[in-house]
Amino acid sequence: MNTWNIGPVTVTRIEEQLGFAGLPPEKYFIGFEREVLERHIGWLAPNHYSHEHDRLITSVHSWLIRTARHTILLDCCGGNHKERSWLPRFHMLDTPFLERLRAAGAAPEEVDMVLCTHLHEDHVGWNTQLKDGRWVPTFPNAKYLFSKKENDYWDPRQNPLTSEHPVRSIVYQDSVLPVIESGQALMLEGSHAIDDHMLVEPAPGHTPGHVILKLAGGGKRALFSGDVMHHVLQVYAPHWNSSFCEMPDEARVTRRRVLEHCAEHGALLFPVHFGAPFVAAISASTRGFAARFVEAD
Ligand SMILES: [Zn+2]
């Protein structure tokens, strides 16, 4: 139901949440143009937009990637019991995310690698869980891959921008720092290969150290885009940034580059926030990019 095959590699969606975006479209996107939404309205409802509420539908999920050698979790959603009073959608959650992971065939002990595309609160939550009043790594046998540039940006000891904003540093303190202190973090600089199938690459813009993951196997390709895009409408309007993009110009350049890569190489796009069925093939023409959703195998 939830698994796509990329040659010998399987990719399974592990859901945390599926529902309304926290903001109306005009606020969710910088530069939102309602005519683009109207042009695609025929197919956007009900999986990607609610007419009745005038809200975009967005998902929050992880990708479980299994190769012959590795069990990898890409992005870690919001997590349970985290103080996020400034973001109601992620505040003090209590979801059965780990049960869903187990049901997909992966116990937390079996995950040997975690990759966070960036360190926003909806991508690092399950890095840790609350045990006896302390935040400890959820995946005891995993190496956690972080971009060094991204880590330096969010570490309040290194960046005054973060230390001066408690809301920014609280996420780092409960979801990133415990992983570093446990010795499980691996800081990546530049590109990084994972076995024969995968390559982590810098994709700055949404955040300074954002990375993407490219996957190739058995003649098939995939690209895990993190928050390079938040909604399928950005395939049609790649100049729209989300209101959470920290570097607007770089975010637009990276988004186009990712879409061009997918179109040119036939790489399936695996975003973290698109609505059902979550995965899309991308094509390019003189009129721009287009998305065709691809159901699970
Ligand atoms: Zn996100």
The 10s digit of each residue's pLDDT in 219-265 is 999 999 999 999 999 999 999 999 999 999 999 999 999 999 999 99
- In tens, the pLDDT along 153-174 reads 999 889 887 777 778 889 999 9
Q: Give 228 Cα–ligand 1 centroid separation in angstroms.
A: 9
Burial class (CB in 10 A: 0-12, 13-18, 19+), 42: exposed
pLDDT recorded at residue 166: 79
Q: Is cis: bond before 24, omega within 30 of 0?
A: no
Q: Give 274 Cα–ligand 1 centroid separation in angstroms.
A: 10
* Residues 58/275, Cβ–Cβ less than 8 Å: yes
pLDDT recorded at residue 167: 81
Q: Give 254 Cα–ligand 1 centroid separation in angstroms.
A: 16
- In tens, the pLDDT along 184-222 reads 999 999 999 999 899 999 999 999 999 999 999 999 999
Q: Give 19 Cα–ligand 1 centroid separation in angstroms.
A: 14
Report the pLDDT averaged over residues 83-108.
96
Q: C-alpha 262: how far from its chain's center?
A: 17
Residues with CB under 5 A from ligand 1 (ion): 122, 227
Q: Give 3 Cα–ligand 1 centroid separation in angstroms.
A: 21
Q: Give 58 Cα–ligand 1 centroid separation in angstroms.
A: 10
pLDDT recorded at residue 1: 67
